[in-house]
Amino acid sequence: MRKYEAVFILDPRKVEGEGEAFSASIEENFKSMGGTVERVKCLERKTFARPIGRHTMGIYWDYVVSLPPDAIAKIKDQYRLNQTVLRLVFFNFEDGQDDTFFNPPENRAKLFQEDFFGDSFDHDDRPYRGYGGNDEN
């Protein structure tokens, strides 16, 4: 058994709500393949940078599952022609690789704060654009 991260992008027009019922069927499919589901997270609706066909947005679902390696090809084949699934991708998962992303927002905000950010740069020490060092202007 190997640990994988699976990301499903669902068509928002084909599922109700955020796709909880469809997500439950995906979890059951993982279990029927002999896997265990360790984490399920809906990453909400997102607008695509580039459209997928005529679709401009989708609902992202992220799963961390332990599966036999041969189950990946079977799952991809099952959802290949499913019109509800716009994209499906599997990644090898290592423990701790996305802990910073799945922290609560108040903890995540601390990652981007730096003490004394900007204190080392003083605007008065640098000339403004267009200043040619000539005081006659």
* pLDDT for residue 17: 86
Full-model pTM: 0.69
Q: Is the pLDDT of residue 5 over 70?
A: yes
Q: Are 31 and 38 in contact (CB under 8 A)?
A: no
The full set of domain ranges for the chain reads 2-94
> What was the pLDDT predicted at 111?
54
Give pLDDT tens digits for 66-97: 999 899 999 999 999 999 999 999 999 887 66
Residue 126 has pLDDT above 60, yes or no: no
Is residue 105 scored above 60 in pLDDT?
Answer: no
| Candidates 1.25.40.10, 3.30.70.60, 3.40.190.10, 3.40.50.2300; CATH matching 2-94 | 3.30.70.60
Question: pLDDT > 90: what percent of the chain?
Answer: 61
Q: How much is the mean pLDDT over the chain?
A: 81
Locate tokens 């905000």: which residue?
109
pLDDT for 69: 87
